[in-house]
Amino acid sequence: MTVGGFGVARAPVSVSVTGQSRKFAGSRSILKLRGMENRFRRILVRATNWVGDAVMSVPALQALREHNPLARISILARPWVAGLYGREAFCDEVIPYEAARGWRGLNDKRRIGVELRARKFDCALLLQNAFEAAAMARWAGIPIRIGYDRDARGWLLTHPIPLPGAGEIPRHQRFYYLELLKRAKLIPGYEKNAAIRLSGRTDAADRGRARLRNAGIHGVVVGVSPGAAYGSAKRWLPERFAEAASAIARERGAQAAVFGSKEETSICETVCQEIGRAGVACHNFAGMTRLDEFVEMAAACELFLTNDSGAMHVASALGVPTVVVFGATDDEATGPTGDLSRIVRHAVDCSPCLLRECPIDHRCMTGVTASQVVEAAHGLVGIKRK
């Protein structure tokens, strides 16, 4: 099953639990924020909803595990991101859940929260910012409920954490999640220079190569992800993706693999056909991979070309040399981390605008040439992965 581009490691299931519910916790805990690390035994983490945000939350969850080695950590996640968490060492259990977004799914969310009571979680950590995340944790009767005090949900939290002010933390989004844990005294601090890295990268690459061989792709592979779920403003031109990927693949004696969501099948097919016309073997996997399968296949690539997207975050966090075209979004806030990635952008006055659709001429993207991307790739190929 594929949902929103990349699917789940396990089949999505409804949360179904039985047993007596605990007495409902009050709206405020008398416990103070001091020395909470390694204190809990059953932690429920409400995951973020987007693949990119999920990757950027990984350092926080790795730190949570490091400082709570005895806890059982369960991740409550939407099906389309569950596969990312399920493969990580910090995760003991993934609880995929499905409910309509916003108020339309309120009854289902309340039901899921009530059913979770029997699991007797003693702490809820809310990485998602929404009101509903806090409401579900309270319906679940979890006595300690930690999250940022935003979206009018502070009264539902036992430990509402003030939002970081401007300049208080580094700009990259991963520090937003790490700071939540630090302010909640779940961790003592965090490293500011560490890159985001997913676990099991070598094994993932081995499994990915096997998947690629089963699809008829052998040898060196250049991965391409020309889509972006957020909107077309983030997408570089498909024909330039094809031009850059073809040039690199010919130089490396490589084949190309194109990845994307079911909704991006058309744009991925356009790129794949253009690469084929340039004399390079190419396979279009758009809409054909679950998230856990994509992780493995991306890990097997020698190089990855992409927009600012969930695929970018995954490839970069796997330590795959990654070239990213940025335009409408802010690479300092949501870009790849570490020295195995390169960002290519064309500076214009209106960028980053953070818009889903460009209202003018998309100059931030049309100004990026295929030769610039190829040149950036030359600086990465051959670098030892970390």
Q: Chunk the chain into consecutive blocks of 10 residues (it has 386) and report each block's average pLDDT, rounded to whole numbers.
A: 32 32 33 64 96 97 96 96 94 91 81 94 97 96 98 96 96 98 96 96 97 96 90 91 97 96 95 98 96 97 96 97 96 96 95 92 95 95 65
**How far, in Å, CA of 271 to CA of 352, rounded?**
25
pLDDT attached to residue 26: 34
297 is in which domain, residue-wise?
Answer: 201-378
The count of domains in the chain is 2
- List, edge to edge, every strand of the sheet that includes 42-46: 93-96, 72-77, 42-46, 123-126, 145-148, 159-161
pLDDT attached to residue 85: 95
Residue 331 within any structural domain of the chain: yes
Q: Answer whether 0.85 is exceeded by the pTM.
A: yes
Are residues 176 and 217 located together in one domain of the fold? Answer: no
Are residues 221 and 305 located together in one domain of the fold? Answer: yes
pLDDT attached to residue 204: 97
Token pair in block for residue 115: 């059913």
Are residues 128 and 213 located together in one domain of the fold? Answer: no
Token pair in block for residue 247: 């040039």
Are residues 160 and 211 located together in one domain of the fold? Answer: no
Q: Are the C-beta atoms of 233 and 355 separated by less than 8 Å?
A: yes
Residue 109 within any structural domain of the chain: yes
Are residues 215 and 363 located together in one domain of the fold? Answer: yes
Ramachandran region, residue 333 (left: φ > 0; alpha: ψ -120 to 50; beta: rest): alpha
Are residues 248 and 163 located together in one domain of the fold? Answer: no
Residue that has been written with the tokens 């309270």 in this structure: 138
pLDDT attached to residue 12: 33
Residue 10 within any structural domain of the chain: no
Are residues 235 and 343 located together in one domain of the fold? Answer: yes
**How far, in Å, CA of 285 to CA of 253, rounded?**
20
Are residues 244 and 179 located together in one domain of the fold? Answer: no
3-state SS, the chain, equals CCCCCCCCCCCCCCCCCCCCCCCCCCCCCCCCCCCCCCCCCEEEEECCCCHHHHHHHHHHHHHHHHHCCCCEEEEEECHHHHHHHHCCCCCCEEEECCCCCHHHHHHHHHHHHHHHHHHCCCEEEECCCCHHHHHHHHHCCCCCEEEECCCCCHHHCCEEECCCCCCCCCCCCHHHHHHHHHHCCCCCCCCCCCCCCCCCHHHHHHHHHHHHHHCCCCCCEEEEECCCCCCHHHCCCHHHHHHHHHHHHHHHCCEEEECCCHHHHHHHHHHHHHHHHCCCCEEECCCCCCHHHHHHHHHCCCEEEEECCHHHHHHHHCCCCEEEEECCCCHHHHCCCCCCEEEEECCCCCCCCCCCCCCCCCHHHHCCCHHHHHHHHHCCCCCCCC
pLDDT attached to residue 38: 66
Residue 83 within any structural domain of the chain: yes
Are residues 66 and 135 located together in one domain of the fold? Answer: yes
CA angle at residue 55 from 10 to 209, to 5 degrees? 65
